[in-house]
Amino acid sequence: MLLKHAIAAIAVCTAAICNASPPIYKYVDADGVAHFTDKPDSRRYQLFDLTPKGLTRSGDHYDPGLLARAAQYDAIIEAEAKSAGVEPNLLRAVILVESGFNSRAVSKRGAVGLMQLMPTTATRFGVSNRYDPRQNVRGGALYLGFLINRFRQNVRLALAAFNAGEDAVERNSGQIPPFVETLEYVPKVLKIYQALSEQQQRRQTTLAALPRI
């Protein structure tokens, strides 16, 4: 499954956001390949910072052990992403930031599950049990796909709306609302999405180079 091979990228991402782990640095070489390390040997490396607080939006600490078991949701993510017209890796990135792949996560605001659905959003997209992983991911994927279409394929604005609400983006003249959480949330998700996509691309390149039997 894809996530089984992409989990290395997630592990690299989470190493930078776990309280007990050292910071992770990244640089992209001339061939477009991303390199990660916790011991940079030159100035070409830049800090790969995802969140200074090391928390998911649900308020839980990121847990690499939990993420290593995230493959159990791979089939659900692939299926619901395809159904909603959303890239699977973008969905994974949102889930990572929202809940750290904890299907039982509950935020102080009452958001629940993998994609931290609020009751109104769940009802809007036909989710009767927010704790059910498939229903939760389906509702979250449909909502994210709706937002991407609403904001004319602008993923940054769609993510801002997923975090702060559609009206908040509209009231801010179609810009990311100036909320600290939202301003941190959008680049955080996009960095993880980029890391996962790069990992997938490297794997596909490696497989394509293997001799055919």
Neighbour tally for 170: CB within 10 Å: 15
Residue 198 appears among annotated catalytic residues:
no
pLDDT tens digit sequence for 199-213: 777 766 665 666 665
Which of 28-32, 39-43, 59-63 shows the lowest mean pLDDT across its residues? 59-63
∠ at Cα 82 (78, 88), nearest 5°?
50
3-state secondary structure (DSSP) of residue 43: coil
Can you give the residue range of the structural domain that contains 144? 2-209
pLDDT tens digit sequence for 86-106: 999 999 999 999 998 999 999
Q: What is the DSSP string of 170-185?
A: HHTTTS----HHHHHH
Q: Which helix (H) or strand (E) holds 3?
A: helix 2-15
Domain count for the chain, please give it. 1
Across the chain, the runs of DSSP E, i.e. the strands, are 25-28, 34-37, 46-47
pLDDT tens digit sequence for 102-157: 999 999 999 999 999 999 999 999 999 999 999 999 999 999 999 999 999 999 99
7, 29, 30, 79, 192 from 68: Cα distances, Å:
7, 28, 31, 20, 15
What is the token pair recorded at 27? Answer: 């640089």
pTM to 2 decimal places = 0.72
pLDDT of residue 73: 93
Q: Provide, rounded to the nearest whole percent, the portion of the chain with pLDDT above 70.
A: 67
Q: What is the mean pLDDT of the chain?
A: 80
Q: Provide, rounded to the nearest whole percent, the portion of the chain with pLDDT above 90.
A: 51
What is the token pair recorded at 116? Answer: 């931290």
Give the active site residue among 80, 87, 98, 198. Answer: 98
* CATH number, domain with residue 23: 1.10.530.10
